[in-house]
Structure 1
Amino acid sequence: MNNGDKNVSYLFNLYYTKQATPQQLRELFDLLKTYDDEQLTGLLREAWDDLSAREEIFDEEKSRSMLNNILNAAPRTGIVAIKPKRYWMWGIAASILITAGIGAYFLNRPKPADMQLAIVHPAHDALPGSNKAILTLGSGATVVLDDANKGVVARQGNALVVKSKEGQVDYKVGEDADNKTIEYNTITTPKGYQYNVVLPDGSKVWLNAASSIKFPTEFTGSQRNVEMTGEAYFEVAKNAAMPFIVKTNRQEVRVLGTHFNIMAYDDEPVTKTTLLEGSIMLTGKSSNILKPGNQAIMNAQGDVKIVAESDMDEAVAWKNGFFQFKDESIEGTMRQAARWYDVNINYKGKIPTHQFIGKVPRSVKLSELLSMFKYAGMNFTIDGREVTVMN
């Protein structure tokens, strides 16, 4: 390690342990601008792994306050230059400090005179998403679940559809032996909304924005079959005699009782299936058995790549209330933003090739999320539901 590397490591450690002075912060940011892609990537990866290991979750109000203060704390003279095609992770990496406790460092220090407000709210900002879904009954009738009163929403065959006091939908199968009618229901989340449901067998499903799940009002026979689009996290009730089958447009996942996440949006280039607990069999062009920690990545042609030790926190970050980016392109980050904030993304000029790493609460406004990316030299305009990305 040369003297320059030692100096950066020393300054970064001061920054990380909340001991750096404003002058040392400026020196660190200026030195980081001289690093090449590989050096900067390595440094930030070490920080990411360390921060992830010691993550602390704050409530929404404190997370939002920390987000503001972290953005306001970056010196104007640093971290704004960018090389084409480099891994620009420093600017967005500041956001991971929100949940790692370092945000308090900025909250408790006086702000230097040459620092300026990082967030400017447009007149027509987009608010973050919330809980809402549309239930389509077997008859074709629809129920907007956020408007429905608590209690019984509908009766479907031998099952009661009940909205709990927590706002989720629970299917309770009755004991009416004479009623053999099986209806198929679909729960759909529009853009800008998420929802969770308890299926007739007790399995729990969390739906991300712009997603759906179709299922029978009572599981009978030898299998529990459901169909989904978009993204969903499953906690499947164990029943060795009746496997649980999830079908998407590209694959079929067979489980007995387990926890897993499937990301299968039509506008994404790949389908990702991440196993957190138990065991599942994924079938496409070929069959693969996944173990906990495995992630199957299937492309449009049906080819599958298995990642043995995947980032499970990243896979389910949306369920836990976060955007989490790891070597993500600007197009990938904007697709997530479009679904959560219900906006359309347009690009003016050449699409930027930067990649980002970071973690941001999904409770922030759209303008706050976009402000993170300004450190990569990118600009945005928000006009109603239209967002334009400019390099």
Structure 2
Amino acid sequence: MIEQKIRLFLEKFAKGTITTAEKEEFMELISTLDLEEYEQIIESYQRILKDSPVTPIPDSSLLAKIGERIERHEQGETIITRLFPWKKIAAVASVLLFISVGGYILWHQSISGQQTVHNQVQHNDIAPGGNKAVLTLANGKEIILTDAKNETLASQSGININKTNNGQVVYKKIATPVQNPELITYNSIATPRGGQYRLTLADGTNVWLNAASSIKYPVVFSGKERRVEITGEVYFEVGHDATKPFRVVSNGQVVEVLGTHFNINAYRDENVVKTTLLEGKVKVSSTVGAKILKPGEQAQLEKGNILVADVDINEVIAWKNGLFDFQDASIETVMRQLSRWYDVDVEYRGKIPETLFTGKLHRAVNASQVIDILSYFKIHFKIENEGIKKKIIVMP
């Protein structure tokens, strides 16, 4: 009965619904536990959070209070060093859920990107990315969307191209589109490193572009198919049209759908092109074959061959939800994501430990806050920010 009650309280802590009275009852319940039982509570809480990966920790008092209990416990200093370096965590902000390496686990309360637990700001710090992109029209005119007003940007082929108040581009029909495929005009949107953007195509398809990504698309889908081309990482929610299959061309593959939600990671500096299906059904084709995906599956294209694997959907689309999500990721994998989001070059000096990271962090924080967290695991970092030239140096 006591174990069930503790689990109920842990679930309420994770959801942020626990009351003050319930907190007091919880602390009373665990007041006489031994070290092994404290560790079991921590492991149980970690499992609860992993089962609800998009839920932040609205109240960090649970772990803080457990830490205090352990610290007062016999041999508690050993445990607190291994699991919770509390004094260090007090100076670090914006870890979402947890980040871990081996036996080490760091936890912290989720906070907004503009807040920190301390007021010190590194001189060489680097701000996170944001809504930045360039729209290129069929006539070659470029529109910097970051600076453009929220209004109609252009009109083409019976379509108004609007920038909305929530910072996205929407293609909206205002007249009967052309029917001659030869008259199709193309636009493109490209995000820089440190940028992201969202647009709605003329058929109602919603598109999210991650940093250093692009999409080329017809202003009007007037042919027998809806074909677009992408680079980088793009998430799609395709408008259904059984008469016009939607096809995405990217780095050696074609993805064909009728109406579905999926993510494509086709960065040139990644070894594998990954297409992940969230809803519906897609066909992924390469020069040597094709695979049909079911929701929750990912096609991994490498050297023309396609392998299909089950994946964690929340990890794949974490970027779209404003998070970094690392699952047994090497430092090189982590730094490639940071490089794109913070528009920064990465330099490695010396032999870097083969450390694997697991955890979730906000993307809406300065680079120093992410580096502070990673540096707990015997890897050192230095930020150099000289105007346009920005670099993170990774050292053992």
TM range (shorter): 0.7 to 0.9
Aligned partner of residue 333 in structure 1, secondary structure: helix
Looking at structure 1, the residues matched to 122 and 160 of structure 2 have their Cα atoms a distance apart, in angstroms, of: 45
* Aligned equivalents of 2:166, 2:335: Cα separation in 1: 30
| Aligned amino acid, residue 159 of structure 1 | I
> What SS class does the counterpart of residue 353 from structure 1 fall into?
coil
Selected match of 2:49 from 25, 37, 51? 51
Q: Take 2:332 and 2:178, find their aligned partners in 1: how far apart are those partners?
A: 54
Give the deviation of 1:122 after TM superposition: 2.5
Gaps of 5+ in 1: 1-12, 33-42, 82-86, 104-116
User: Is 1:168 matched with 2:168?
Assistant: yes
TM normalised by structure 2 equals 0.75
1:195 maps to amino acid: Y
- Matches of 1:246 and 1:179 in 2, distance apart? 21
Please show how residues 98-109 of structure 1 align to structure 2 within 5 Å.
98=109
8 Å Cα contact 2:229/2:248 also seen in 1:
yes
- Equivalent position of 2:261 in the other structure: 259
Equivalence map 1:212-231=2 (5 Å): 212-231=214-233
Partner residue in 2 for 1:291: 294
Query: Is the CA contact (8 Å cut-off) linking 1:379 and 1:390 kept in structure 2?
Result: yes
The aligned length equals: 335
Distance apart, 1:120 and its partner CA: 6.7
1:118, 1:371 within 8 Å by CA — same for their partners in 2? no
Report matched runs for 1:309-328 at 5 Å. 309-328=310-329
Question: What secondary structure sits across from 1:281 in the alignment?
Answer: strand
The CA distance in 2 between the partners of 1:129 and 1:368, in whole Å, is 14
Rounded to whole Å, the distance in 2 between the matches of 1:376 and 1:118 is 21
**Where does 1:192-203 land on structure 2 (aligned, <5 Å)?**
192-203=194-205
Structure-2 residue corresponding to 1:88: 101
Q: TM-score, normalised by structure 1?
A: 0.76
Structure 2: distance between partners of 1:55 and 1:295: 19
Distance in 1, Cα, partners of 2:344 & 2:167: 25
Check whether the contact 2:54–2:314 (CA below 8 A) recurs between aligned residues.
Answer: no
Q: What is the aligned counterpart of 2:82 among 75, 78, 85?
A: 78
Q: Is the 8 A contact 1:119 1:368 kept in 2?
A: no
Shift of 1:158: 2.2
Which amino acid in structure 1 is aligned with residue 130 of structure 2?
A: S
Where do 1:240-389 residues align within 5 Å? 240-284=242-286, 285-299=288-302, 301-307=303-309, 309-384=310-385, 385-389=390-394
Secondary structure of residue in 1 paired with 2:232: strand
Name the counterpart of 1:125.
Answer: 125
Cross-structure match for 1:157: 157
2:106 aligned counterpart, secondary structure: helix
Other structure's SS at 1:148 match:
coil
Structure 2: segments with no counterpart, 5+ residues: 1-9, 15-22, 72-76, 86-99, 112-116
Task: Give the whole-Å Cα distance in 2 for the aligned partners of 1:178 and 1:361.
Answer: 44
Q: CA deviation at 1:21?
A: 9.1
* CA separation of 1:176 and 1:241: change in aligned 2, threshold 3 A: closer
The 3-state SS of whatever aligns with 1:205 is strand
Deviation per residue, 1:300-347 (Å, 9 max, x gap): x1222211x310000000000100000111000000000001101111
* Aligned-partner SS, 2:239: coil
CA distance in 2, matches of 1:296, 1:56: 24
- Judge conservation of contact 2:154–2:162 (CA < 8 Å) in 1: yes
Superposed CA RMSD? 3.6
Structure 1 residues 126, 186: CA separation in 2 closer, same or farther (over 3 Å shift)? Answer: same
Q: Which amino acid aligns with 1:88?
A: V
* TM-aligned CA deviation for residue 175 of structure 1: 1.9
Counterparts of 1:177 and 1:224, CA distance in 2: 14
Give the deviation of 1:151 after TM superposition: 1.6
Give 1:351 shift.
Answer: 2.6
Change (3 A) 1:48 1:140: farther
Greater RCO (Cα-Cα under 8 Å, separation 6 or more): 1
Contact 1:274 1:295 in 2 (8 A): yes
